[in-house]
Structure formats: C-alpha cells, structure tokens
Amino acid sequence: MSQTTTFEQPKTGTWDGGNEPFKASYGKLMMWFFLLSDAFTFGAFLTTYGLARHRHHAYEGTPEAFTFSTEWWPIPEKVFNAFPFFHGVDWPLAFVALMTMILILSSVTMVLAVEAGHRMDKNDVQKWLLWTILFGSMFLGCQAWEWSHFIAGTDEGMKLADGSVIYGANLIVNQYGPPLFADLFFFITGFHGTHVFSGVVLLILIFFNTVNGVYHRRGHYEMVEKVGLYWHFVDLVWVFVFTFFYLV
Amino acid sequence: MAAHSHHNEDHGHVGDIPKAQTKAIWKTFVILCVITAIEFAFAFMMEAGTLRNAIFIGLTILKAFYIVGEFMHLKHETKGLIWAILVPTILLCWLLVALLVEGTFYGDSVYNYFK
C-alpha cells in the first residue's frame, strides 16, 4: 500500500475547481442538464402530435355512436379499452391507469432507495432498488402487451368503403383511425419505453455495484441519486404522455 | 491487514444507521395517486372540450411539480439550480405553444391554398 503513486493533489480554491456551482456535484448537474435536453426531444414529439391531430377532423357525434374511421381522429378511450385476460370487454383506459400506477410506485421505491443511500444503509438500498427494477420491468411488460394488442387489433376491425376489413395497426395502415395516429403512438410510447428500458439497465448496474459494496467503499451513494433523477424524469414524461395521448 | 480492520469497523457502524424518514415520500405518493384519480373522474364524468383539456393540463403540471420538486428534490436545491432548470422549461412551454398556434395557422393556410 505504501508503494502507491501519489498524484498531484486536487486544487481546492474557489477558482481552481474546488467550488461546486449550485452546491451540486458535477455528475448531478450534468444529469439535470441532460434531462433538460431530453425534455426538448419529448417536447418535439408532443408538438408533432398536436399539429397532426389538428390537421385531422375531430369526431363530432356522440361517444356512444363512435366507430373507427380514417375520416376523423379517434377518441383515445375507445381505442385503449382492452385489458389482459378480459377479451372483448370494454374497460376504457383501465390498463393504462394500471401502468401509470406501476410507474408512480416505481418512482416511490426509487426515492426510498436514494433516501436509504443518504443513511448509508446498504441493505435498504438493495431492497428498494430491487423493487424499482421489478416495477420497471412490469411496466415494460405491460407496454409490450399494449403494443401487441394495438398491432393485432380488435375482433371487428375497420370496414372500408370497398367492403374489405383492416385489423390492427402498423406504420402504413391503422384500424383505429388515420395512419398518423398509429405512427405517433409507436414513436411516442416507443421512445418513452426505450427510456424505461435504459433506466432498468442502469438500475440493474447500480444494483450489482451496491451488492458488491462499491458505493459503500466510496463513502456515498451519489450514483443511486443520479440514476434516480433519470428514473423520475421517465416517470414525469409518462405523466405528460398519459395526459396528451390518452386523456385529451 | 489494514483493509481487514477497516472492514470490521464498517460492521460496527451497521448499528448506527439512522431510522428512515419516509413520511414526506409517502405523502407525495398519495397526492400523486389522488390527482390521477381526479383526472380519471374528469375523463368519464365531463364532456370533452377545451375546459376539460385545460383541467387535464393544469392537473398534469401539478403532478409534474410534485415529481420534480419532491422526488427529484429540486425544491430543496439552491435557488440558482432551480432557476437554471425552470427558465429553459418555461421557454420550452412557450416554444411548444408558439409552434402549435403558428404551425396550425400555417397548415390551414397551405391546405386552403391548394383546395
């Protein structure tokens, strides 16, 4: 141990890099600014959605008489009304409500992991990280189901003027309405889902580091905080996607 | 040897871990759940329209406030950091509204021009 090379001591003066702007570490600050840039990306998606929606006619009849047509933008609660194992039952937005609850719950377990990290409580950090990984993976599973249902379509499909029937949706045809509706569904929820997936990968990495005692030896659990910031942002994006895609 | 004794010291510290302070976290969770429930109540009990959309957007921003303020801890950071995040976000909202309004107008003009 005595043979360790001594490096130059870090400078600690205010103008030598010893000062932390905003009393936040470099890593946390950069995570905040990365998230800000990510918000711009999602902002672009939502703008595109708003413009595309406005360019199409809104459905003007009563909600009870609603049918799928490429003539008008669909009502979300008529599109997203299926629930796993309840085939053909009309439960508007029930599944997406479940997904929202799962993601909010994962945010809570994440913040509990960060809190445990502040107390240097390795066991609690491990426990809450595992819960967060579980809820994150559950959300991804739900989204996979939602996508496969959206792609496969309903039993009735959409009848075209020439008598043929479309089932489900892809990037070119869409039984629920104009093709752009399906395109934006795939891009927006897909981009968010990719973020959730990266988040789960990061969570698994820091879980292994925690178990191996990397952060305990380092003396702080800041990495858990940084991944936590990312994870909450993903939850935040879902809150907006939920409002603009499923509610409005 | 030195590393080993350090290891023992760590074990001695386990008993000193302070108790978890999770009251504020669960309170925020309950608030977020209640707001989501209110959103669903509006989705099913109110006719679709501009007013309902405004309520949805208002409730969404309220949810965002709790997630960013409490979960991401921004409320408890320094004033400088709060503004550094908040000002670009407000400008982003302005950009979104401007793009939607101007883009809609432009889209309609082009569409009507070729009609």
**pLDDT tens, residue by residue, A34-85:** 999 999 999 999 999 999 988 888 888 777 778 888 888 998 888 888 888 8
Q: In this structure, what token pair is assigned to residue B72?
A: 């991401």
Q: Which of B18, B20, B60 has the CB atom closest to A239's CB atom?
A: B60
Give the torsion through C-alpha atoms of B62, B63, B67, B70, to 10 deg: 50
Residue B22 class from Cβ within 10 Å (0-12 exposed, 13-18 middle, 19+ buried)?
middle
C-alpha A173/C-alpha A68 separation (Å) is: 13
- Residues 160 through 199 of chain A touching chain B, CB cutoff 8 Å: none
pLDDT for A137-165, tens place per residue? 999 999 999 999 999 888 877 877 787 88
Give the torsion through C-alpha atoms of B97, B98, B99, B101, to 10 deg: 80
- Could you give phi then psi for residue A4, rounded to 5 degrees? -60, 135
Find where tokens 């595109």 sit: A48
Domain topology for A105-247? Four Helix Bundle (Hemerythrin (Met), subunit A) (1.20.120)
Find where tokens 């993976």 sit: A137
* A183-187, Cβ contacts within 8 angstroms, sequence gap of 24 or more: A184/A45, A184/A48, A184/A49, A184/A52, A184/A245, A185/A150, A185/A245, A186/A147, A187/A45
Residues of chain A with Cβ-Cβ distance to B99 below 8 Å are 47, 51
Contact A22 B81 (CB under 8 A): yes
Per-residue confidence (pLDDT) for residue A7, from 0 to 100: 67
- Nearest residue in B to A124, CA atom: B20
Per-residue confidence (pLDDT) for residue B21, from 0 to 100: 83
Is the pLDDT score of A19 beyond 80? no
- Nearest residue in B to A116, CA atom: B20
- Residues 105 through 124 of chain A touching chain B, CB cutoff 8 Å: 105, 107-108, 110-112, 115-116, 119-121, 124
| Nearest residue to A63 (alpha-carbon basis) of B97, B32, B52, B112 | B52
Contact A100 B36 (CB under 8 A): yes
Q: In this structure, what token pair is assigned to residue A160?
A: 């075209």
Contact A239 B80 (CB under 8 A): no
Q: In this structure, what token pair is assigned to residue A7?
A: 């490096």
Contact A101 B36 (CB under 8 A): yes
The contacts of residue A145 (CB under 8 Å, 6+ apart) are: A84, A95
Whether A94 has its CB under 8 Å from any CB of chain B: the answer is: no
pTM to 2 decimal places: 0.87
C-alpha A69/C-alpha A80 separation (Å) is: 15
C-alpha B32/C-alpha B25 separation (Å) is: 11
Contact A104 B85 (CB under 8 A): no
C-alpha B78/C-alpha B87 separation (Å) is: 14
How many C-beta neighbours within 10 Å does residue A46 have? 20
Q: In this structure, what token pair is assigned to residue B83?
A: 């503004």
Q: pLDDT by residue for chain B (115 residues), tens digit each? A: 344 444 444 444 555 788 888 888 999 999 999 999 999 899 888 887 889 999 999 999 999 999 999 999 998 899 999 999 999 999 999 999 999 999 989 888 888 888 7
C-alpha A36/C-alpha A127 separation (Å) is: 30
| Nearest residue to B15 (alpha-carbon basis) of A121, A117, A124 | A121
Find where tokens 């945010």 sit: A107
C-alpha A66/C-alpha A76 separation (Å) is: 11
- Nearest residue in B to A102, CA atom: B33
Contact A247 B29 (CB under 8 A): no
Strand A72-73 and strand A158-159: the pairing is unpaired
Contact A54 B100 (CB under 8 A): yes
- Nearest residue in B to A109, CA atom: B25
Residues of chain A with Cβ-Cβ distance to B34 below 8 Å are none
Per-residue confidence (pLDDT) for residue A83, from 0 to 100: 87
- Nearest residue in B to A241, CA atom: B60
Strand A57-58 and strand A158-159: the pairing is unpaired
